[in-house]
Amino acid sequence: MVTYNLYIGCSVPVNYPNYESAMIKVAQAYDMELIYMEGVACCGSPNLRAFDHTGWMTVNARTLAIADKTGYDIVTPCNGCFGSLKDVHHVLMHDDEEREKINKILKKENLEFTGVAKPRHFVEVLYHDIGIDEIKKKITKPLDGVGIAIHYGCHLLRPGDVTEFKPEYLQELVKVTGATVIDYPLWKQCCGATVLPVNEDIAIRLARDKVKSMKESGAVFATVVCPACGNQLDLQQLGLKESYGEVYNLPVLVYPQILGLALGMDEEEVGLGMNRVPADPILEHLSD
């Protein structure tokens, strides 16, 4: 059994308890031990980075330093948390001056950033630490080749020199469940979440373009690995009838829901009932 620090963030536990629960169940199925981190809160998201760089660095360096004490890597299901932690980890590993400055602040709490514990996204841990072959061994109800469009989320993929995440990781993880990965033109494009507080119209337009591109390319389902992206593609989809006069009915599942179903979990266990666009049609695509 491998142990990880679980950094759950603030959005997943509040808006997506089904994501949290499905992730924990999938982790258990593969003998991963996820321990909720003690004494941590929000990463501040790109919003905090925008107006208070030092505050953002300190908050995230503190989370990293708490994990450093345990020696276990950090796992998070949220691209926002992943991006923040990964960015700060990258800066502190490469900038001695900044590291000294931040460690001076952390010293008040008897903490020190050492960089031992690496921040990682849950799907990257599945891909690298468990591996596709081991994942495959436990799949009992593979999907029937149904087309799934992947929305990676910006802060999972970019900046590539910092996140070190390759699209192939998630493609392989979707394929191993028996589903087919659907290529679509706007696969790299942003969901619009970050701009939501500043300009809602642009945010909705981006979400709409994304869902439209997926649907027109033949996707039957979409998958996301971030609560903010999930909110944009799933919840916002319901409002498109009013704003654009368009209805897409494209269910959006977080990746652990898809893998969980392929592992034989039922719809309640992976919390399908909490998805905004009804996601239960995916049950029809599971083998008996």
Partner 1 sequence: MLVVYLMTEMEERSGPPITLIDPIDMSKLDPTFRDEIKSMPNGEALSACFACSTCTAACPIANMWKYKPHQLIRMILLGMKEEVLSSNEIWLCLTCYECQERCPQKVRVTDIFFDCKNLAAEEGKIPPNVVALAKELLTKGQLYTVTADWEREDMGLEPEVPGLSVEAVKTILKDTRTRKIVGGDE
Question: Where on the phi/psi map is residue 181: left (φ > 0), alpha (ψ -120 to 50), or beta?
Answer: beta
Q: Specify the pairing of strand 2-6 against strand 74-76.
A: parallel
* 86 lies in the binding site for partner 1 (CB under 8 A): no
Let me know: does 279 contact 222? Beta carbons within 8 Å.
no
Q: Which stretch binds partner 1 (CB under 8 A): 11-19, 212-220, 253-261, 276-284?
A: 11-19
From the list 31, 53, 107, 241, which residue makes contact with partner 1 (rule: CB under 8 A)? 53
What end-to-end distance do the CA atoms of the chain give, in Å? 30
Looking at residues 157 to 176 of the shown chain, list those that interact with partner 1 (rule: CB under 8 A).
157-160
Tell me which of 38, 133, 242, 288 binds partner 1, using CB under 8 A: 38
Is position 36 an interface residue for partner 1 (rule: CB under 8 A)? yes
Contact 145, 180 (CB under 8 A): yes
Q: Is 180 helix (H, G, I), strand (E, B) or coil?
A: strand
Contact region for partner 1 (CB under 8 A) — 18-26, 125-133, 171-179, 236-244?
18-26
Q: Pick the stretch among 48-56, 140-148, 172-180, 259-267 that binds partner 1 (CB under 8 A).
A: 48-56
Site for partner 1 in 204-243 (CB under 8 A): 206
- Of residues 62, 60, 33, 45, the one with CA closest to residue 125: 33
Angle at 216 between CA 210 and CA 222, to 5 degrees: 55
Distances (CA, A) of 240 to 143, 179, 205, 207: 29, 27, 9, 9
The DSSP string of 46-97 is HHHHHH-HHHHHHHHHHHHHHHHHHTPPEEES-HHHHHHHHHHHHHHHH-HH
DSSP helix/strand/coil, 35 = strand
> Which helix or strand (DSSP H or E) is residue 119 part of?
strand 119-121
Per DSSP, the three-state class of 155 is helix
Binder among 55, 71, 145, 239 for partner 1 (CB under 8 A): 55
Q: How many residues bind partner 1 (CB under 8 A)?
A: 56
> Token pair for residue 138?
């436990």
Asked if 107 touches partner 1 (CB under 8 A), the answer is: no
Query: Does 155 help bind partner 1 (rule: CB under 8 A)?
Result: yes
91 binds partner 1 (CB under 8 A): yes
State which of residues 190, 225, 261, 286 lies at the interface with partner 1 (CB under 8 A).
190
154 contributes a contact to partner 1 by CB under 8 A: yes
Closer of 146 and 228 to partner 1 (Cβ): 228
Kindly state whether residue 197 participates in binding partner 1, applying the rule CB under 8 A: yes
66 or 219: CB nearest partner 1: 66
Contacts of 14 (CB under 8 A, 6+ apart): none
From the list 36-44, 67-75, 168-176, 213-221, the region that binds partner 1 by CB under 8 A is 36-44
Q: How far is the CB of 228 from partner 1 (least distance, A)?
A: 10
Q: Which parts of this chain interact with partner 1 (CB under 8 A)?
A: 8, 10-11, 13-15, 17-18, 20-21, 36-42, 44-55, 58-59, 62, 91, 95, 98, 105, 109, 154-155, 157-160, 188-190, 192, 194-195, 197-199, 202, 206, 271, 274
